[in-house]
Chains A and B, each alone.
Chain A
Amino acid sequence: MTISQVGAYPLSKGIKITTIDRKEISSGTALIKRGFAHMQKHGVIMDVTNVEQAQIAEDAGAVAVMVLDKLPYDVRHAGGVARTAGVKVIQAILDSVSIPIMAKCRIGHLSEADILEEMGVDMIDESEVLSPADESRHIWKWNYTTPFVNGAKNLGEALRRIEEGASMIRTKGEPGTGDVSHAVTHIRMVNNEIKKIKGIYDNNDDQELIKISRELQSSYEIVKETGKLGRLPVVNFAAGGISTPADAALLMKLGCDGIFVGSGIFKAEDPLERAKAVVIATTYFDDPKTVLEAQKMIDEKKSMLGLDTKNLNLRMQERGPTV
């Protein structure tokens, strides 16, 4: 099996079983949900707020679009409460592009998630870009047939989200700032922790694995599986602050399975060319010649200016329940 089954609940509410021609068919299984996330690999998922942007993203080679009411950069400037996108906007996008459509809901907001599932979005992002609705709990994602993606700054967060049913993990980074350094910090943190666990797993030191699982507030099974695989049991994307082809290539070099671009494309002045360039750089991240070709497609003067992350009023990566 090329997809890890660790943590999968065979009888979770999200699994729907029906029969066709006397054959049982199962939807919403861990394999089908994680499998969907695997199909996004080496691709670029682009934040969009309307049909026009979704169309540009699809034409530029986005592997999926992520619908939200405001781009993270605008969420910061608007202040107030950020909620899931308008139903009409999501529906219009569902009716117009053929690639998968994802949408964000607030952390812990079961009913926003219900609405997104009911509309038929392909993946739900329980996102810290929006204002958290529950400060003590994330959504129990095994209850949904639709797969979820969650953000994580470190391995403990990632494994806890997977145990709650996330089918995909992304770095949190610091969204809407155009500063890629936080995403880099988060993926390096996860990589280093996995490296350590892999060493312990290879030494057959179960006692140490149990100790680490307590520190990470995660189960021994998932920590052991992570050590065995030498990677997260689900796909791991980069997100937060990616603005240029070179940024995307950097995060792929650090071992990410794919890229989310939020404000970086539609807050720039050359969105179509930039989106294409980021797609090319993501596929050919390890080939400097092609990354250069991609970088030539954009104009640095048209990049979003970005925000100094040392003086932010709102650190999105710190929002939501701590466990």
Chain B
Amino acid sequence: MNELLIGVLGLQGDIEENIKAITDAFKEMKIKGKVIPVRYPEEIMKVDGLIIPGGESTVMGLLIAIKNGLLDAITRILQEGLPVMGTCAGMIVLAKKSYDKVVGNKKQLLLGALDIEIERNSFGRQYDSFESNLDISGIGNDYKGIFIRAPTVISMGPDVQILSKFDGKIVAVKQGNIIGTSFHPELSGDYRMHRFFIESITNWKKTKN
């Protein structure tokens, strides 16, 4: 198999932290792979999997819409079924619908790839941001979840699978090859989530060949 190439959408947010998480996960799995920040359509079309990082979903949406061809490229890889993982803001960008807990509806670009509705800032503002241990199906228990002004999944379509709940709220989901998390696996130092994502890429590549 060719060396894996993973892209981290490099517009805004904790891009380098996701690159580090994937690099360390590759080492743990003894997989030869490369991970690069991607900001241009031609870079997006080269990758075997894409991470949309944490940051601000409104900013990423705006920058996706502004750059010529970027939205088309991301839409195309999503249609092809390429594995994509969105953490926090990244999950919002992947969602079909979203509203903010305090200020309500905000017009923002959403990719609509995950059949979910998001409540932004679902646990409150930064003062209420927290860390706590999570159980995640397919990944394991005692996973340090880092929730920063975190969104949650309020409702979802039949094809969406719940991976984790916290305090009665849905905080991790999977639909086909797309993963969304409310929390920041890239900040926890525990790279099980990124390994899970890499596995979904290797599996996808096998079925494609």
Which of B28-36, B72-80, B128-136, B155-163 has 4 or more CB atoms under 8 Å from chain A?
Answer: B128-136
Residues 60-96 of B at the A interface (beta carbon under 8 Å): 62-63, 66, 88-89
Give complex CA distance A21, B121 in Å: 21
Partner of A280, one of B14, B66, B149, B188: B66
Q: Are the CB atoms of B127 and A58 closer together than 8 Å?
A: no
- Residue B189 interfacial (CB < 8 Å): yes
Give complex CA distance A112, B15 in Å: 34
Which of B44-52, B100-108, B173-181 has 4 or more CB atoms under 8 Å from chain A?
Answer: B100-108
Partner of A284, one of B15, B39, B124: B39
Residues 138-174 of B at the A interface (beta carbon under 8 Å): 146, 148-149, 166-167
Contact with B along A87-108 (1 / 0, CB 8 A): 0000000111111100000000
- Residue A3 interfacial (CB < 8 Å): yes
Q: Are the CB atoms of B56 and A27 closer together than 8 Å?
A: no
Residues 1-42 of A at the B interface (beta carbon under 8 Å): 1-3, 20-21, 23-29, 31-32, 35-36, 38-42
Q: Are the CB atoms of B14 and A41 closer together than 8 Å?
A: yes
Residues 109-148 of A at the B interface (beta carbon under 8 Å): 117, 120-123, 145-147
Q: Are the CB atoms of B58 and A61 closer together than 8 Å?
A: yes
Enumerate chain B residues within 8 angstroms of A60, measured Cβ to Cβ. Answer: 62
Give complex CA distance A26, B187 in Å: 15
Q: Are the CB atoms of A20 and B167 closer together than 8 Å?
A: yes
B144 closest partner in A (C-beta):
A31
Give complex CA distance A77, B180 in Å: 49
> How many Cβ-Cβ contacts under 8 Å join chain A to chain B?
141
Give complex CA distance A63, B16 in Å: 17
Q: Are the CB atoms of A58 and B58 closer together than 8 Å?
A: yes
Give complex CA distance A146, B125 in Å: 10
Give complex CA distance A1, B184 in Å: 12
Known contacts A117-B127, A279-B62; decide if A42 and B187 are in contact (CB<8 Å).
no
Q: Are the CB atoms of B59 and A1 closer together than 8 Å?
A: no
Q: Are the CB atoms of A123 and B20 closer together than 8 Å?
A: no
Enumerate chain B residues within 8 angstroms of A97, measured Cβ to Cβ. Answer: 103
Interface size, chain A (Cβ < 8 Å): 48
Q: Are the CB atoms of B56 and A39 closer together than 8 Å?
A: yes
Partner of B103, one of A36, A95, A146, A283: A95
Enumerate chain B residues within 8 angstroms of A24, measured Cβ to Cβ. Answer: 132-133
Q: Are the CB atoms of B11 and A31 closer together than 8 Å?
A: no
Enumerate chain A residues within 8 angstroms of B102, measured Cβ to Cβ. Answer: 94-95, 98
Give complex CA distance A100, B125 in Å: 8
B54 closest partner in A (C-beta):
A39
Interface centre among A26, A28, A31, A146 (most CB of B within 10 A): A31
- Residue A43 interfacial (CB < 8 Å): yes
- Residue B112 interfacial (CB < 8 Å): no
Known contacts A100-B149, A146-B126; decide if A29 and B56 are in contact (CB<8 Å).
no
Known contacts A98-B106, A120-B125, A122-B149; decide if A26 and B55 are in contact (CB<8 Å).
no
Enumerate chain B residues within 8 angstroms of A3, measured Cβ to Cβ. Answer: 17, 187
Partner of B126, one of A29, A96, A123: A123
B167 closest partner in A (C-beta):
A20
Give complex CA distance A61, B13 in Å: 13
Q: Are the CB atoms of B21 and A2 closer together than 8 Å?
A: yes
Residues 153-210 of A at the B interface (beta carbon under 8 Å): none
Question: Can you name 19 A-B residue pairings with CB atoms under 8 Å?
Answer: A2-B186, A20-B166, A27-B130, A35-B146, A35-B184, A38-B54, A39-B56, A41-B12, A42-B11, A43-B59, A58-B58, A61-B59, A61-B63, A97-B103, A98-B100, A98-B106, A99-B56, A120-B124, A123-B126
| Contacts A42-B11, A283-B10 known; 11 new A-B pairs at CB < 8 A | A1-B187, A26-B131, A27-B127, A39-B55, A41-B15, A43-B59, A61-B59, A63-B56, A98-B103, A279-B63, A283-B39
Lowest 10 A-B CB distances belong to which pairs? A122-B126, A1-B189, A25-B132, A98-B100, A2-B17, A61-B62, A25-B130, A27-B130, A42-B12, A38-B14
Task: List B residues at the A interface (Cβ < 8 Å).
Answer: 10-17, 20-21, 39, 54-56, 58-59, 62-63, 66, 88-89, 100, 102-103, 106, 120-121, 124-133, 146, 148-149, 166-167, 184, 186-189
